[in-house]
């Protein structure tokens, strides 16, 4: 049976669904956008350099790292700050900063497969050095009072699987939950996520286990829980193109069915998110709008044409006009006024 809620230490998470941290995606605007749609129990920041956070301490003022990656609004609670790095002292210092900023949970990233992160022994690069993982977990756990979790991959390769050992290290060091993406670093995002590895981790530890990987529909979420016994599900890439997926899971649990997004829903999604971006007033608003056009036009009738027009635009207001004009032919006039 799909869990209605779960606990990360004293933090109650309901529903038992988590928005995965995604670089360049899960900033404060997208997180609030997901929160407003409903159905998501826990949201997480983009993964953030522990060295960048530590530098803000030395500078004695908020740096771009904190202002961009660790800014959040009260309505985002419960929220987790995710850090990456390979220096136990620096990671501990960064975790204390996150605690001071008011985050509910700190999470350590042992999953990112990107070369520039791995080359610095961050993300999934640390999976080849379990003694270092142990030191990182021990140092951060001793530095903060709020719950500590970690997200990790199954191993560096199929020949170097460490998922169970990683989870047991987490439990021994007092972490309150773990999240497993069961692909290896070598797989990247290719191939199939082997959910049996999530089941193995669940059987090996008593702390909550969050399953991640290849959840594209509400049916997938329920099937993952049935097959693995995990305590919650984490969804990343699917939420970029279908941000309703958390609400759909809740509807599916409640009624046995769920609503597919309509053409009108897709218009409201794009308009709402773009207006939130404009209100935020960041320097890269136009670039972010173009980036999300790739995600949000998935499933839109004539989406390729809409994407092309957005990519050629130069101003945020122009992009919003393009979206309004594109959908105006199919949607009642009162819905397209800004």
Place of tokens 């660790």: 70
pLDDT of residue 125: 83
DSSP letter for each residue of 89-131: HHHHHHHHHHHHHT-SEEEEEE----HHHHTTT-GGGGGG-HH
- Give residue 130's pLDDT: 96
Give the pLDDT confidence score for residue 64 in this predicted structure: 67
- Angle among Cα 146, 179, 239 to the nearest 5 degrees reads 105
What burial class does residue 238 get, using C-beta atoms within 10 Å of its C-beta: 0-12 exposed, 13-18 middle, 19+ buried?
middle
Per-residue pLDDT at 74: 96
pLDDT of res. 333: 44
Catalytic residues: 112
Task: State how far the Cα of 268 lies from the Cα of 64, in Å rounded to an integer.
Answer: 31
pLDDT of the residue at 72: 95
Residue pair 229/206 in contact (Cβ under 8 Å)? The answer is: no
Q: Where are the domains of the chain?
A: 6-255, 263-335
pLDDT tens for residues 155-195?
A: 998 999 999 999 999 999 999 999 999 999 888 888 899 99
Q: Does domain 6-255 have CATH number 3.20.20.70?
A: yes
Q: What is the pLDDT of residues 40-67, one digit of tens each?
A: 999 999 999 998 898 877 776 656 678 7
CB distance 33 to 276 below 8 Å = yes
First to last CA, the chain: 43
**What's the pTM value of the predicted model, to 2 decimals?**
0.93
**pLDDT, mean of each 10-residue run, the chain (338 residues):** 96 98 94 96 95 81 74 97 95 96 97 73 83 97 98 93 97 98 89 96 98 97 98 96 96 95 91 95 91 90 93 95 88 43
Q: pLDDT digit string (tens) for 290-309?
A: 999 999 998 888 899 999 99
* CA distances, 269 to each of 25, 85, 120, 213 (Å): 15, 35, 37, 24
């Amino acid at each position: 049976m799909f869990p209605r809620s779960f606990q990360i230490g004293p933090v109650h998470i309901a529903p038992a669904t988590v928005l995965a941290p995604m670089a360049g995606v899960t900033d404060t605007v997208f997180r609030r956008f997901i929160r407003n749609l409903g159905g998501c129990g826990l949201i997480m920041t983009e993964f953030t350099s522990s060295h960048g956070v530590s530098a803000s301490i030395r500078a004695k003022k908020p740096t771009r790292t904190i202002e961009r990656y660790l800014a959040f609004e009260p309505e985002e609670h419960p929220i987790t700050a995710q850090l990456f790095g390979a220096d136990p002292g620096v990671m501990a210092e960064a975790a204390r900063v996150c605690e001071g900023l008011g985050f509910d949970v700190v999470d350590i990233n042992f999953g990112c497969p990107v070369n520039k992160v791995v080359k610095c022994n961050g993300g999934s690069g640390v999976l080849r050095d379990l003694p270092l993982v142990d030191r990182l977990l021990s140092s951060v756990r001793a530095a903060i009072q709020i719950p500590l979790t970690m997200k990790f991959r199954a191993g560096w390769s199929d020949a170097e699987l460490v998922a169970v050992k990683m989870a047991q290290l987490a439990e021994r060091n007092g972490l309150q939950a773990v999240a497993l993406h069961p692909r290896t670093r070598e797989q990247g995002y290719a191939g199939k996520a082997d959910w049996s590895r999530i089941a193995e981790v669940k059987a090996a530890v008593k702390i909550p286990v969050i399953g991640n990987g290849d959840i594209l529909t509400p049916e997938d979420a329920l099937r993952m829980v049935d097959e693995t016994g995990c305590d919650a599900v984490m969804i990343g890439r699917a939420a970029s193109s279908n941000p309703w997926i958390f609400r759909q899971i809740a509807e599916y649990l409640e009624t046995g069915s769920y609503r597919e997004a309509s053409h009108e829903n897709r218009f409201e999604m794009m308009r709402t998110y773009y207006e939130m971006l404009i209100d935020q007033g960041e320097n890269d608003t136009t670039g972010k709008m173009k980036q999300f056009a790739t995600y949000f036009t998935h499933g839109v009738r004539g989406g390729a044409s809409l994407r092309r027009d957005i990519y050629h635009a130069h101003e945020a207001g122009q992009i919003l006009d393009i979206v309004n004009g594109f959908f105006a032919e199919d949607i009642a006039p009162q819905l397209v006024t800004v």
